[in-house]
Amino acid sequence: MPGNRQSTRMPDFDYTAAAAYFISLCTEERIPLFGRVVDAQVQSSEFGIIVRDEWLRTPFIRPTVHLDEWIVMPDHFHAIVGIGMKPETIGKIGKEIVDRNVGAHSCAPCHEGTVQWHRPSRSLATLVAQFKATTTRRINELRRAPDQRVWQRNYNDRIIRNEVELDKVRDYIRKNPKQHS
């Protein structure tokens, strides 16, 4: 229902703050555009290679972003991304950073009625929106289908608060192909 969209964002958290995030994006209708899993290994399609290449370009386009573990699955994408932090600090931010940044802004990446909410620059929402837009454009150029949707609306995210949680998410990402064999 377009009018009843619920945000998955943590209320009042500053998504421009230095933090590590686990993000998941799914293809429209979970169509396996990006490849297939064979013997617990992802075999990427040309569309999956586009997603991979664009993800790898991210830190060059956005120098405040650090990529950690990630995977392009046939119908979804998982990644750990650090925003505004050094690679060695991912997972070491702790809950105190999350608590300290609550309340800085609460802008949602959507339009509702006549009020336009905005995505702050250098935020997680802006990173994801630009990544989805670029991959969609490139995939649709390749398949000669300019108006086709590639990604589902929105995405899931989780703020990674410590090294234990970071290790669990890394393990989940690494084992994802095995879960889909």
Cβ-contact 152, 15 below 8 angstroms: no
Cβ-contact 14, 119 below 8 angstroms: no
Amino acid, res. 23: I
Q: Which helix (DSSP H) or strand (DSSP E) does residue 112 occupy?
A: strand 111-112
Cβ-contact 54, 131 below 8 angstroms: yes
Full 3-state SS string of 71-110: EECCCEEEEEEEECCCHHHCCCCHHHHHHHHECCCCCCCC
Q: What's the predicted TM-score (pTM) here?
A: 0.80
Q: Identify the pLDDT of residue 119.
A: 52
DSSP 154-172: S-EEEEE-SHHHHHHHHHH
Q: Please list the pLDDT of the chain residue by residue as tens digits (181 residues).
A: 444 445 555 666 777 778 899 999 999 999 999 999 999 999 999 999 999 999 999 999 999 999 999 999 999 999 999 998 776 777 665 544 444 333 333 344 444 444 444 555 678 999 999 999 999 999 999 999 999 999 999 999 999 989 999 999 999 999 999 998 7
Cβ-contact 124, 157 below 8 angstroms: yes
Q: Identify the pLDDT of residue 100.
A: 38
